[in-house]
């Protein structure tokens, strides 16, 4: 099932990162993602901040035994974006502060473009890394539990959190089953002469329908049977249910949350300094007294 | 005095008006019995299974479970008495791991967590899945998934278990696994009533009583050795007789008598060789 590896698959180790509370991991993921996308003033500032983040994220990846192979695999589809960014931010602008070279016809290239592309790519890579850390160290079921926990305040508004979280976990549970099924249908259709690889757009779309329709039909009959099985085991969406697993917040999580909040706090402060207090925008220069660009 | 737990009275069902799938079927099942329901395709046995689990509603006739009529009002109450193992192992695996799936029915009954952990451990051991607790359904065979489903139902401590063609999608090994599990389960808990709707004649031969359906009517309702007595008769309604019995009959014509109690191939092999 190579298809299900797109955003990383759970790898069953027992590291500190695996044992952290999924609620905390979900929160940190969002916080760190926000932090990577905050503005930090000039290029030196940006790269130093991103460098610090890269260091910590790489450290977490090593501690959590995240497979670097699957990480690079999911990055491999980003090269198209890289080319686009190069075209739009490096070759087209024709303006900037730091000149590389001016051609005879007046067209010139600037370092600004390269730096811009670099820092956007770095941000995206960090975002992918963060997502992979979450998915490879946390069971899908635990992520659902965490989501349910975050949704609990909505219960006051009569929002059916229990139903929503069960729906999500059932959907996650059936992804591999349906992938297997679609493979089986594809093989069955191939043996009947459908060619999924060749042909132009229209014929490709037509051949895909031979996969989609049987898959949809089987999905409906599956969900029907599943509903009957759930009811037969006494499931009632509006009754109070107990939980087989509950999440426990330990001292380990406390240390981790202090660390993440500190890191996030420093980054956010830096960003505010850089962007809202004029004169402070070059904080690296102010603090360390080194020239910046 | 034996206690009736299931009573079916004059049950009739048809999808369309002309053709009756089930026609005036009546039978009753006592507490602690292991009854198999067999019949060739189109005999109405799957329909009967659906009626018993209240997926379909009968046109005529009544079903009583533990002296309560099966109907819209009672269904929630009755679901606490019967557990059903369905045909497709994938579509009844609700939890994302083995332990979550066994716990699903317990969660619905709002049982405390510590207690649940104990129950899950106990029943996973009973079905021999204690080493697979954290496995996901994709990593299990069909037989193992059905064993998990059985554990999930056993854990609820119900009076009646219905197997709705639970082995028809399994490989021969899986069929054997489930067959042995049912027998072991019965031995451990003699009060448990088991109804198995099945294709598997070997299983029927091991049960206490066999109900044979043919064209919507009960054709036979007796102990296995009586039901399978006449091979010709069974062939007429497109059913075979168990393999062990076939050999026994062949041996009988050669003048070799074999003990009545021998019901499995292993036992027979041992008997012949020793």
> A152-210, pLDDT tens digit by residue?
888 888 888 888 888 888 888 888 889 889 999 999 999 998 888 777 788 888 888 88
Using DSSP, how many helices (H) and how many strands (E) does chain A show? 11, 2
Query: Does B138 contact A172 at a Cβ distance shorter than 8 Å?
Result: no
Q: Average pLDDT, whole number, for chain A?
A: 85
Top pLDDT among A94 and A124 is at A124
Residue for token digits 């939980």?
Answer: A243
Give the nearest chain B residue to A219 (CA atoms).
Answer: B91
Indicate if the pLDDT at residue A227 is higher than 80. yes
Question: Distance (Å) from the C-alpha of residue B60 to the closest C-alpha of chain A?
Answer: 23
Nearest-CB residue to A172 (from B91, B92, B96): B96
The helix (run of H) or strand (run of E) holding residue B194 is: strand B193-197
pLDDT value for A8:
61
What is the mean pLDDT of the segment spanning A141-161?
85
Distance from CA of B115 to the nearest CA of A (A): 10
> What pTM, to 2 d.p., does this model score?
0.78
A14 close to B (CB below 8 A)? no
Burial level of B58, CB count in 10 A (0-12/13-18/19+)?
Answer: buried
According to the model, what pLDDT value does residue A199 have? 75
Mean pLDDT calculated for residue range A27-34: 93
DSSP state of B217: E
**Angle between the N-to-C axes of helices A22-36 and A140-151, in degrees from 0 to 180, rounded to the nearest 10:** 80
Place of tokens 């905050």: A38
Question: Is residue A1 very low, low, confident or very high in pLDDT (cuts 50, 70, 90)?
Answer: very low
Query: Is A234 close to B156, i.e. CB distance below 8 A?
Result: yes
CA nearest neighbour of A17 among A114, A122, A136: A136
Q: Is the pLDDT of residue A254 over 80?
A: yes
pLDDT at A278 over 80: no
Which chain A residues are closer than 8 Å to B103 by Cβ? Answer: 244
A 10 A CB-CB count for B189 gives: 14
Cα A80 off chain centre by: 18
- Whole-number pLDDT of residue B103: 93
Three-state DSSP class for B9? strand
pLDDT at A94 over 80: no
Give residue B149's pLDDT. Answer: 94
Q: What is the CA radius of gyration of chain B?
A: 19
User: How is chain B split into domains, by residue range?
Assistant: 1-81+160-226, 93-157
> Cβ separation of A234 and B138 shorter than 8 Å?
no
Nearest-Cα residue of chain A relative to residue B56: A228
Which residues of chain B neighbour A1 with C-beta distances below 8 Å?
138
Which of these ranges, A20-34, A123-137, B39-53, has the smallest mean pLDDT?
Answer: B39-53
Beta carbons of B96 and A169 less than 8 Å apart: yes
List of chain B residues whose C-beta atoms are within 8 Å of the C-beta of residue A229: 84, 86, 91-92, 94
Residue A211 to chain B, least CA–CA distance (Å): 20
Distance separating alpha carbons of residues A233 and A166, to the nearest angstrom = 15
User: Quick one: pLDDT at residue A4?
Assistant: 47
Q: Which two tokens stand for residue B105?
A: 């029915």
Percent of chain A topping pLDDT 70: 91
Report ipTM for this prediction. Answer: 0.85
Q: Which residue has tokens 């099985």?
A: A229
Answer whether A120's CB lies under 8 Å from A85's CB.
Answer: yes
Q: Look at residue B63 and give its three-state secondary structure.
A: strand
Q: What number is the average pLDDT over the span A232-250?
A: 84
Per-residue pLDDT of chain B (274 residues; tens, 9 = 90+): 578 889 999 998 888 777 788 888 999 999 999 999 998 888 888 888 888 888 888 888 999 988 888 888 888 888 888 899 999 999 999 988 899 999 999 999 999 999 999 999 999 999 999 999 988 888 899 999 999 999 999 999 888 999 998 898 889 888 988 999 999 999 998 899 999 999 888 899 899 999 999 888 899 899 988 888 888 888 888 888 888 888 888 888 888 877 777 888 888 888 888 7
Provide, as residue numbers in chain B, all residues whose Cβ is less than 8 Å from the Cβ of A236: 76, 108
- Contacting residues of A for B88, CB less than 8 Å apart: 225
Tell me how far apart the alpha carbons of residues B21 and B11 are, in angstroms, rounded to a whole number: 10
DSSP secondary structure string, B101-119? HHHHHHHHTT--HHHHHHH
Q: Specify the pLDDT at position B15.
A: 82
Which residues of chain B make contact with A167, given a CB cutoff of 8 A?
none
What is the distance in angstroms between the Cα of B36 and the nearest Cα belonging to chain A?
Answer: 20
**Are B225 and B260 a contacting pair, CB within 8 Å?**
yes
CATH class, domain B1-81+160-226, is alpha beta
- Residue B46: helix, strand or coil by DSSP? helix
pLDDT, mean of residues A39-55: 86
| pLDDT of amino acid A3 | 41
φ, ψ dihedrals at A193, nearest 5°: 100, 5
Q: Which conformational region is residue A289 in: left (phi greater than 0), alpha (psi within -120 to 50 degrees), or beta?
A: left
Give the residue from chain B lying closest to A228, CA to CA. B55
Per the CB < 8 Å rule, is A177 touching B90? yes
In angstroms, the CA A66 to CA A134 distance is: 10
A244 at interface of B, judged by CB pairs closer than 8 A:
yes
Interface touch A233/B94, C-beta < 8 Å: yes
């Amino acid at each position: 099932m190579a298809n299900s590896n797109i955003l990383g698959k759970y790898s069953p180790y027992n590291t500190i990162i695996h044992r952290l509370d999924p609620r905390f991991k979900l929160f940190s993921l969002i916080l760190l993602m926000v932090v990577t996308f905050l503005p930090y003033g000039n290029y030196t500032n940006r790269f130093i901040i991103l460098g610090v983040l890269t260091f910590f994220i790489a450290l977490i990846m090593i501690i959590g035994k995240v497979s670097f192979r699957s990480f690079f695999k999911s990055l491999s589809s980003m090269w198209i974006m890289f080319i686009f960014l190069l075209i739009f931010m490096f070759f087209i602008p024709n303006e900037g502060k730091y000149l590389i070279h001016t051609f005879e016809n007046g067209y010139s290239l600037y370092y600004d473009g390269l730096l811009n592309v670099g820092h956007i790519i770095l941000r995206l890579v960090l975002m992918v890394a963060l997502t992979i850390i979450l998915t490879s160290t946390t069971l899908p079921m635990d992520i659902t539990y965490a989501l349910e926990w975050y949704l609990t305040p909505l219960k006051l508004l009569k929002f059916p959190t229990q139903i929503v979280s069960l729906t999500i976990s059932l959907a996650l549970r059936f992804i591999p089953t349906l992938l297997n099924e679609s493979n089986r249908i594809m093989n069955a259709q191939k043996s009947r002469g459908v060619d999924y690889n060749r042909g132009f757009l229209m014929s490709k779309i037509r051949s895909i329908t031979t996969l989609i329709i049987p898959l949809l039909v089987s999905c409906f009959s599956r969900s029907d049977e599943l509903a009957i099985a759930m009811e037969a085991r006494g499931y009632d969406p509006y009754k109070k249910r107990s939980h087989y697993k509950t999440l426990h917040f330990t001292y380990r999580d406390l240390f981790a949350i202090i660390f993440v909040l500190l890191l996030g706090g420093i980054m956010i402060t830096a960003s505010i300094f850089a962007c809202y207090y004029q004169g402070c925008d070059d904080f690296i220069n102010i603090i360390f007294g080194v020239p910046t660009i | 005095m034996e206690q009736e737990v299931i009573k079916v009275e004059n049950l009739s069902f048809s999808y369309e008006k002309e053709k009756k799938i089930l026609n005036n079927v009546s039978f009753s099942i006592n507490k602690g019995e292991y009854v198999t329901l067999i019949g060739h395709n189109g005999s109405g046995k799957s329909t009967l299974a659906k009626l018993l689990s209240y997926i379909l509603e009968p046109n005529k006739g009544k079903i009583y479970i533990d002296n309560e009529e099966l109907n819209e009002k009672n269904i929630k109450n009755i679901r606490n008495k019967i557990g059903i193992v369905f045909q497709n192992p994938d579509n009844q695996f609700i939890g994302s791991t083995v332990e979550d799936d066994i716990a699903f029915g317990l969660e619905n009954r709002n049982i405390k967590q510590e207690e649940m952990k104990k129950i899950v451990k106990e029943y996973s051991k009973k079905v021999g899945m204690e080493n697979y607790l954290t496995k996901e359904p994709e990593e299990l065979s069909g037989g193992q998934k059905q064993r998990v489903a059985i554990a999930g139902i056993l854990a609820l401590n119900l009076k009646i278990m219905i197997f709705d063609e639970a082995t028809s999608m399994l490989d021969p090994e899986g069929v054997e696994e489930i067959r042995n599990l049912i027998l072991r389960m019965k031995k451990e808990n003699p009060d448990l009533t088991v109804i198995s709707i099945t294709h598997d004649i070997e299983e029927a031969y091991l049960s206490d009583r066999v109900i044979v359906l043919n064209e919507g009517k009960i054709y036979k309702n007796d102990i296995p050795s009586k039901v399978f007595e006449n091979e010709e008769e069974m062939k007429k309604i497109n059913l075979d007789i168990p393999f062990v019995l076939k050999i026994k009959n062949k041996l009988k014509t050669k003048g070799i008598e074999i003990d009545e109690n021998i019901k499995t191939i292993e036992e027979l092999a041992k008997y012949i060789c020793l």
